[in-house]
Amino acid sequence: LQNAELGKRAPRWIRDNEVTMCMKCKEPFNALTRRRHHCRACGHVVCWKCSDYKAHLEYDGNKLNKVCKDCYHVIIGCTDSEEKKKKGILEIESAEVSGNSVICSFLQYMEKSKPWQKAWCVIPKQEALVLYMYGAPQDVKALATIPLLGYTVDDTPRSADLPHSFKLTQSKSVHSFAADNEELKQKWLKVIHLAVKGET
């Protein structure tokens, strides 16, 4: 079985009499202290020491099975990286993107007719066309992201808007932001004006 197939398909079962030694540590088997065990993932015959691991095997309805050390690490390693892949775009830690950002600060944020709320806003260096919004600077998951490309920037607030505010509009979606002061607003606009055109 290939590493990628471990646990997904039933292995060819190596018969007890096909080996005289543990297929992992190569210590000889004997009837008393080193008896034969099977790894349910690769089907190899191994000693108890080398098979003292358990992993969920897909071909067996994800039940916990005895597996050898090598298979354990392959299977656990695989699920780890697959879980990482399944992580959504929002599950990026704020501290991570803020530490390496083009710009980050608190802004007031309003979407459609919802009330204004304070959000920690970040445009990461590695992804300078996306605005990440967090509830707080150390949050491990973003509240929302806005892919900035193609948005129109409206930076002249009406009298009804908050001072130092600006809007991002694209077809029906409108995102309103307000900075605490004009200087901060201009900093954000400088970055956003580039991002909406796809320049970084």
| Chain positions contacting Zn ion, by CB under 5 A | 22, 24-25, 39, 41-42, 47, 50, 68, 71
The backbone torsions φ and ψ at residue 71, rounded to the nearest 5 degrees and listed phi first, read -65, -40
CB of 10 to Zn ion, least distance (A): 12
> Quick one: 63 or 141, whose CB is closer to Zn ion?
63
Minimum distance of Zn ion from residue 30's CB (angstroms): 12
* 71 or 146: CB nearest Zn ion: 71
Q: How far is the CB of 82 from Zn ion (least distance, A)?
A: 19
CB nearer to Zn ion: give 71 or 122: 71
Helix/strand/coil (H, E, C) string of 25-45?
CCCECCCCCCCCEECCCCCCE
Nearer to Zn ion, 21 or 143 (CB): 21
Q: Which is nearer to Zn ion, 18 or 91 (CB)?
A: 18
In whole angstroms, the minimum distance from the beta carbon of 81 to Zn ion comes to: 19
Any bridge partners for residue 120, and if so which? 106, 134
Question: Taking the C-alpha atoms of 40, 43, 48 and 51 in order, what is their torsion angle to the nearest 10 degrees?
Answer: -50
Which secondary structure element, helix H or strand E, spans residue 108, and what is its range?
strand 101-111
Give dist(CA 165, CA 185) in Å, integer.
7
Question: Which residues have C-beta within 8 Å of that of residue 67, sequence separation ≥ 6?
Answer: 7, 39, 40, 41, 42, 51, 53, 54, 55, 57, 75
User: Taking the alpha carbons of 20, 22, 24, 26 in that order, is the dihedral positive or negative?
Assistant: negative
Q: Would you say 50 or 129 has its CB closer to Zn ion?
A: 50
Encoded tokens for 197: 């055109």
Q: Residue 193 CB, nearest distance to Zn ion (Å)?
A: 57
CB of 63 vs Zn ion, minimal distance in Å: 16
